[in-house]
Amino acid sequence: MTKFTSEDMIQYLYNETSVQKTAAIEAALDTDWLLRESFEQIKADQMNLEEVNFSPRDEAVNRILQHATKKVGQLHSH
């Protein structure tokens, strides 16, 4: 039986495996409960990552806006 890595399972999750590898992984998932458990954890982790929202601090946004305003002002003064 082929051993699959976490990377293999992630590629499978994102439909990035070949037809042959997909078939092999699916066959393994049907018979190897440890692999199935590992895959289910990877799927759960993926779902958790999709829920994470990243946003800059207000201070960073304000500095960018101030810099842009300054540059626009310099362009208009020339």
What is the distance between the alpha carbons of residues 24 and 4, in angstroms, rounded to a whole number?
Answer: 9
**Tens digit of pLDDT for each residue in 26-74?**
999 999 999 999 999 999 999 888 777 778 898 999 999 999 888 887 7
Domain extent listing, the chain:
6-77
15: left (phi over 0), alpha (psi -120 to 50) or beta: left
- Report pTM: 0.63
Q: What pLDDT does residue 78 have?
A: 65
What pLDDT is attached to residue 30? Answer: 97
